[in-house]
Structure 1
Amino acid sequence: MVERVGALTHLESIRASDLRPHWYAVYTLPRHEKSIADRLIQQDLETYLPLYSSLRQWNRRQAKVELPLFPGYVFVKLVVTERVRVLTHPGVVRLVGFNGNAVAIPDCEIERLRSLLAVWKAEPYPFLTVGKQIRIKSGPFASLEGRIIRRKGKMRLIVSLEFIQRAVLLEMDAAEAQLAS
């Protein structure tokens, strides 16, 4: 009887943590990110779809378009027990996770990403696992880590998001970076 009470207490604590909303990455079909984000907002779910501006050309005219910074992904804040509200949308493939279980993204990671994109211009970049690891030593994003590349004489920082296997390319001043130890 004592073991059973202990088991119930453990189950209650698991359920209590499931009742708090957390951020999750939603994996979508290609080019469905904006429509899925709109539908989730209509359901009163907090979403985050980082966008960047790109100049595109169609039949002798140029247009500035807003494209997803992480193609194929939308971030949504929800209670994991309500994941069916997200998974039933056409165009949603799954919640990102491991072994069939959705993995929550810490709130601080989403807030850091929002803050980063409010200050720096970013564009998608292929996910990298090689290169020099650096840490920003000054400014609003001191201690942020990434890999560095040089392109057209400018130094750029690639910040990799391991949980969705995507990266963002940021332009920065070389004086703001130091090699990570």
Structure 2
Amino acid sequence: MAKPIGKSKQELIQAAMQCLVDNGIANFTLKLVATYADVTQGTIYYHFKTKEQILLEIIKYICEDSWGKLFENDQFTISAALEIIKSRFKNDAFYHKLLISLIVLGFNNPLIKEQLGQVLMNENDSLLFGIKKLWRASPIDGVSLTTWSIFFNALIDGIAIQLITCEDFPIDTFYKELEKILITIQQLEE
């Protein structure tokens, strides 16, 4: 198949994200993405063979973009990291709804499971990179910085589940208090 002329893969991902925000996961189709991107379905299928593939690309894009913004000025702070994480809850938390939906699909699809596993490992690595900027060593003997990064990633995804399922989840209060906890942990290391 010849490469279609028109939109870049990145532009298609942007259109797909807007389509997802506007229509939700249940109504998300490659045909609808083509409409949002103002391209043919063939253009979409050239870049993304399946709906799941474009959804994985959206997850990867959000992860890389958010961590890239955080590290671009070498100004990693607890507050900045929490703001990036909170930004993923915008637009009705579609990032985490998408992530959880893909995890469920991964139960029966080894390729999706493998690709999501890589996304999560990249997230852990990004967190580890940030933690190393804040801490010279773990504040608790015998607990590696790698374990801290995995713990924080799991914590954030677990909070996302509560945010999605609990209508009155106190997100602002939670993140304000989480920031206090993290600053206190950081002070233990100093």
Which interval holds the TM-score relative to the shorter structure? under 0.3
TM-score normalised by the chain length of structure 1: 0.22
Give 1 or 2: higher helix fraction. Answer: 2
TM-score normalised by the chain length of structure 2: 0.21
Give 1 or 2: higher strand fraction. Answer: 1
